[in-house]
Amino acid sequence: MSIMPEIKSVFPDQEYEPSIRNGKVVAVLAKAAIVDMGGEKIKAQKAFSCLVDPEAGDTVICCKNEDDQFYILGIMEREDHRKQQMKISLPADATLESGDGSISILAKETATIASENLNLICGETLYKSHSATFSLDSLTATGNTLQASYKTVNFFSHIINTMAKHVFNRFKDYIRNTESSDQVKARQMTRNADGVFSLETGHTIMVSKESTKIDGKKILMG
């Protein structure tokens, strides 16, 4: 036979009646607000679970604890219906987690993320937009494979440095225009043209330390 424990009052020495009231915010302080409750101005702190910051004119619901301290539990109505702006305030570190599902953030106009540091860690990323603009002082990208497909690619830079063990280029037409000087330095160089190889200059100088060989079925000079 079980014996039920004696239930004692949490506040045996005082009469405590929880009070839930609504009022209108008349002023907003750093971590609290002044709420008008039936003509009585009361200072109320924002409850930890109340994420939306109150504004002047909001109708809020408040609760009083055993220490006669009022807390704002939530915002019932915002006075200006044309201005339904909302600020969600988190006091410290926060985590938004969907253990078995997805999280979607939708905005009709603009979605902005501002932070001193931004970390994006995922298994796969899909980015799709009509146009994009990136403004970066410094960019470092590392990986195993990079593949890009564009109809037109334009590069504008003061200096371009390219370093690779092997470089393979294939073009249907290749046109290069160098306004100042064009220098190529190689240990060995081979040019193979199936058709005509044409070289036109103002002055041509060919210097060979050892031998110079010109071979052809017919050689015309002059």
Q: For the chain, which residues make up each domain, given as ranges? A: 19-77
What is the pLDDT confidence band of residue 160, given thresholds at 50, 70 and 90?
Answer: very high
Q: What is the pLDDT of residue 10?
A: 45
pLDDT for 27 beyond 90: yes
86-92 contacts: CB < 8 A, separation 24 or more? 86/52, 87/52, 87/53, 88/51, 88/52, 88/53, 89/51, 89/52, 89/53, 90/51, 91/48
Q: Indicate the fold that domain 19-77 takes in CATH.
A: OB fold (Dihydrolipoamide Acetyltransferase, E2P) (2.40.50)
pLDDT for 159 beyond 60: yes
- Predicted TM-score (pTM) of this structure: 0.55
Mean pLDDT value across residues 83-106:
83
